[in-house]
Chain A
Amino acid sequence: MAWTKKDLLDLEYLTAEEITTILDTARSFYEVSTRTIKKVPALRGKTVVNLFYEASTRTRASFEIAEKRLSADVLNVNVSVSSVTKGETLLDTVKNLCAYKIDVIVIRHSVSGSPLYLARNIEASVINAGDGAHEHPTQALLDIYTLRERLGELKGRQIAIVGDIAHSRVARSNIWGLTKLGAKVTVVAPPTLVPRDIERMGVAVSHRLDEAIARADAVNMLRIQREREKQTLFPSLREYSKLFGLDEEKIKDLPEGMLVMHPGPINRGVEISGAVADGPHSVILEQVTNGLAVRMAVLFLVAGGTSLHPESLGT
């Protein structure tokens, strides 16, 4: 299936076919990074701007390497020292960049919906690199790519997502993507970290990690932000870790092929023990390698897209 959209804003409004197109394209791009000369001219003459309003090392590095391996010209805008601190609005900042005839903007912003807002207002392609607690589509795509490479067809597969579901854009994007491809998703967390009515997204809820992982083909351990402790969403990090952290004791009886994933950065000893993160079940570094191929595919596809996002039609 051909890709037609100019932006990648979320997985909620993508079809299963569109998701599959991205994953298949990523598979072809994976090979580029195995060459001696790790570069193809796919985006030669295109300019990509990485505009990060939130701290990011991993996602930004991944996008930047992806852009360079596609031969794009890359500009990183360091927001903390830019005109934003002088009070310029997001749209003014971006319209200024667009005056240089840039082709793609990769944006991370703490406000949910800001990528959509930009996509409606500029001609350049917009890629969402994480917006508030809304979505982080490329992270979910690389998680799904990793699952597909390891498990094959995802229809009927049991995937557990564990951690701060309420505040996690990674969880949200994963839920949309996985359920579209027919996987059975269970979210696992203390009640305070599960949004009310999450079942409406087509997932099951569990408050018992041992039960959930006993039937899972893969478990995705989300990072617990230490600040949540202060918000009294759980009594202590130690208690969270004991009940919802993954350690050797909890996985020792699970089948060999059960996959342990983590989007990073890892809090060793909180949501996952060091031994599990580095152990035989872990595919954490594969996720990182796959993420590069997925981002190359997304950059390549949106750069050729023209049609608007369904949600961006109308006003």
Chain B
Amino acid sequence: MKQTIATAAAISSRLIQLSDDVRAACPDPARLVLIGIQRRGVELAQRMAALIAAAHAAPVPLGSLDITVYRDDLSMVAQQPIVHSTNIPFSLDGMHVVLVDDVLHTGRTIRAALDALMDFGRPDIVRLLVLVDRGMRELPIQPDLTGWKLSTKAGQMVRVRVKELDGEDVVELLDGNAN
């Protein structure tokens, strides 16, 4: 079974709203940095950076972060997962970082991302923005800005598709055996 949570139009207007929230929450635009988590967080961060840059009439530094080598289950998985690229070509010292991901679930990705971020400097503030919070946390981590909040069950899957990678913008809730 497949249930559509958000259509392309809904995602687009929610991203505009979230971009406004990011601007409101960051008093010093000159220190604002967006970091997208590989893979789909990168595209979402990119779009919001463009929206914020247009509003500020100034570019917003944008980075991408792959957390694979910081995962806490590397020694438990059967084969190594694919390592995507990390690209943060600026120092994070003193910056206001907004970490962007598509789905927040157990919190383990964000734990790894925070570890990784600290290797790039010492930001003044780190905020977490997620398009979908599906609950079921395993670590004490909560988002600061959320697009949709869902209550889900084990075995369900929240799938975010973005047109840059998947050809369409959609958020879906799938049951365990669906594809």
Do they bind each other?
yes
Which B residue sits closest to A28, measured CB to CB?
B83
- Asked if B119 contacts A40 (CB within 8 A), the reply is yes
Which residues of chain B in 64-102 are interfacial with respect to chain A, using CB atoms and an 8 Å cutoff? 66, 68-70, 74-75, 77-87, 91
8 Å CB interface, A18-39 against B: 24-25, 27-29, 31-32, 35-37, 39
Of A29, A37, A42, A306, chain B has the most CB atoms within 10 Å of the CB of A42
Q: How far is the CB of B37 from chain A (nearest CB, A)?
A: 14
Known: A35-B120, A36-B120, A42-B69. A2 touches B82 (CB 8 A): yes
Query: B85, A3: Cβ atoms under 8 Å?
Result: no
Say which residue of A25, A31, A46, A305 sits within 8 Å of B87 (CB atoms). Answer: A31
Q: Is A175 an interface residue (CB 8 A)?
A: no
Instruction: Say yes or no for A202: interface residue by CB 8 A criterion.
Output: no
Contact with B along A35-68 (1 / 0, CB 8 A): 1110111100110000000000000000000000
Q: Does B144 contact A (CB under 8 A)?
A: no
Pair A36/B115 contact, Cβ less than 8 Å: no
Are A45 and B83 neighbours in the complex by a CB distance under 8 Å? Answer: no
Find out whether the CB atom of A28 lies under 8 angstroms from the CB atom of B84: yes
Q: How many pairs of A and B residues are in contact by the CB < 8 Å rule? A: 58
Contact indicator B79/A31 (Cβ below 8 Å): no
Cβ contact of B85, chosen from A28, A45, A304, A305, cutoff 8 A: A28
Partner of B74, one of A3, A24, A304: A304
**Residues of B within 8 Å of A, CB-based: how many?**
23
Render B22-37 as a binary contact track against A, CB cut-off 8 A, 1 for contact: 0000000000000000
> For chain A residues 291-310, which have a beta carbon within 8 Å of chain B?
297, 300-301, 303-306
Contact of B79 among A2, A35, A40, A46 (CB under 8 A): A2
Please give me the residue from chain B that is nearest to A301 by CB atom.
B80
A91 to B65: give the CA distance in the assembly, Å: 42
B176 within 8 A of A: no
Q: Which residue of A lies closest to B72 (CB)?
A: A41
Given contacts A28-B83, A36-B91, A36-B120, contact A41 B70 (CB under 8 A): yes
A4 at the interface (CB under 8 A from B): yes
Contact A300 B91 (CB under 8 A): no
Q: Are B86 and A28 in contact (CB under 8 A)?
A: yes
Judged by DSSP, the binding face of A is loop
B69 to A300, Cβ gap below 8 A? Answer: yes
Given contacts A40-B69, A41-B70, A42-B74, contact A4 B79 (CB under 8 A): yes
Complex Cα distance, B115 from A297, in Å, reads 21
Query: Quick check: A25 and B83 within 8 Å, CB to CB?
Result: yes
Instruction: Give min CB distance, B56 to chain A, whole Å.
Output: 27
B79 touches A39 (CB 8 A): no
CB-CB under 8 A for A41 and B115, given A3-B79, A36-B121, A300-B83:
yes
The answer for the CA separation of A192 and B81 in the assembled complex, in Å, is 46
Q: How far is the CA of A154 from the CA of B66 in the complex (A)?
A: 27
Which of chain A's residues have a CB closer than 8 A to the CB of B70?
Answer: 40-41
B66 and A28 contact, CB distance less than 8 A: yes
Q: In the assembled complex, how far is the CB of residue B96 from the closest CB belonging to chain A, in whole angstroms?
A: 19
Minimum distance in angstroms from B81 CB to a CB of chain A: 8
> Are A304 and B79 CB-contacts (below 8 A) given A28-B66, A40-B70?
yes
For B74, the chain A residues whose CB sits under 8 A away are 42, 304
- Sampled A-B contacts (20; CB under 8 Å): A25-B83, A28-B83, A28-B85, A28-B86, A31-B87, A36-B91, A36-B119, A36-B121, A37-B119, A37-B120, A40-B116, A40-B119, A41-B69, A42-B69, A45-B75, A46-B75, A300-B80, A301-B80, A304-B78, A304-B79
Residues of B within 8 A of A (CB): 66, 68-70, 74-75, 77-87, 91, 115-116, 119-121
User: Lowest 7 CB-CB distances: which A-B pairs, in order?
Assistant: A304-B80, A42-B69, A28-B83, A37-B119, A40-B69, A2-B79, A28-B85
Having A28-B66, A31-B86, one finds 11 other A-B pairs with CB under 8 Å, namely A2-B80, A2-B81, A28-B85, A36-B91, A36-B121, A40-B70, A41-B70, A42-B68, A304-B77, A305-B79, A306-B78
